[in-house]
Amino acid sequence: MKSTESSPFDPHRDHAAAGAGTAAMAELLELDAEVLHDYLAELVDWLGELSDEEPRHIVDLGSGTGTGSFALARRFPRAGVTAVDLSPQMLHRLSKKAAALGLSDRVRGVQADLDEGWPRLETSDLIWAAASVHHLADPDRVLAEAFGALRPGGLLAVTEMDFFPRFLPDDLGVGRPGVEARVHATLNPYPPADWSAHLVRAGFVLEAQRPFVIDLPAPLPAATARYAQVCLQRLHSHLEGRLPGDDLAALDAVLAGDGPHSVLRRDDLTVRTTRTTWVARRP
């Protein structure tokens, strides 16, 4: 079994941060949803194929601004969705978006710290946990509580991202080739998590494990350049003293908004990443 030790840096952490930190995280989550829209639609369609009946109540654990909540609400139009998050700022954004989409009657937020205990919710048909389980102090306890919160036959879907997407060509036209590869190797030294054994210990039957290999073809979504810039800025903020000066200078050139090598002006961007989903059923 692969290690479940998480990277020392990951893109979906710190939902409880306040002020500018929350705003930056919210933008990252929303750009992620926009650029990877097709992947998300494929994932929720697959969950529909695995469900034994149309879900009526869905829980989104660690919902952030509601990427999963709204995708699930669109895919399962008879379902109510409860979005659970620690951050009141994230839930406020989710509530405003639900109103704008005409989904306030079906998507509601619940503030809760899962490390303190499971919130008081109705029995669920589907529980969704995207890039959230590895943040928990005791994931086995929370998975066992999720088991108890599902009806027999209900599904739990746990999704993890290997790491940030890769956007850049090997040769940036500035600095030594391979800068982005060295950034990823520095900040993501651990193998991806594997939740299979954890789910079985919690009482689930593992239904499926599916990696989604994402390599977007041209033309890329309009938000890709900004998405790349936000992701790379977040990585850059954790690299001081961990990469050679010439690599940091190359990244600075890529992040400069008006420079010739700027990510906002490049026509050679890609979006490459892998996300894995485990689907487990309560017998």
pLDDT tens digit at each of 283 positions of the chain: 233 344 444 444 433 333 447 889 999 999 999 999 999 999 999 999 999 999 999 999 999 999 999 999 999 999 999 999 999 999 999 999 999 999 999 999 999 999 999 999 999 999 999 999 999 999 999 999 999 999 999 999 999 999 999 999 999 999 999 999 999 999 999 888 899 999 999 999 999 999 999 999 999 999 999 999 999 999 999 999 999 999 999 999 999 988 999 999 999 999 999 999 999 999 9
Which letter, b or e, does each residue of 243-254 get, where b requires 16 or more Cβ atoms within 10 Å of its Cβ?
A: beeebbebbebb
pLDDT score for 283:
98
State the pLDDT at residue 21: 79
Contacts of 48 (CB under 8 A, 6+ apart): 75, 76
Instruction: Confirm if 53 and 126 have CB atoms less than 8 A apart.
Output: no
Q: Please give the structure tokens belonging to residue 261.
A: 């090598």
Structure tokens at 164: 């940030």
**What single DSSP character describes residue 131?**
S
Q: Which of 211, 274, 212, 279 is nearest to 49 (CA)?
A: 279
- Is the Cβ–Cβ distance between 261 and 175 less than 8 Å? no
Q: How far apart are CA 248 and CA 233, in angstroms?
A: 11
**What is the pLDDT at residue 5?**
40
First-to-last alpha carbon distance for the chain, in angstroms, is 23
Whether the CA torsion 191, 195, 200, 201 is positive or negative: it is positive
Count the alpha carbons within 13 Å of 156 in the hemisphere toward its beta carbon.
31
Residue 51: phi and psi, rounded to 5, are: -70, 140
- Give the count of beta carbons closer than 10 Å to the beta carbon of residue 283: 8
Neighbours of 276 (CB within 10 A): 18
Of 129, 69, 130, 128, nearest to 94 (Cα)? 69
Name beta bridge partners: 166: 272
Class of domain 20-168+190-216+272-281: alpha beta
How high is the pLDDT of residue 266?
96
Q: What is the pLDDT of residue 163?
A: 94
Asked if 200 and 209 count as a contact pair (C-beta separation under 8 A), the reply is no
Angle subtended at Cα 269 by Cα 263 and Cα 275, rounded to the nearest 5 degrees:
110
Q: Indicate the DSSP class of residue 204.
A: P
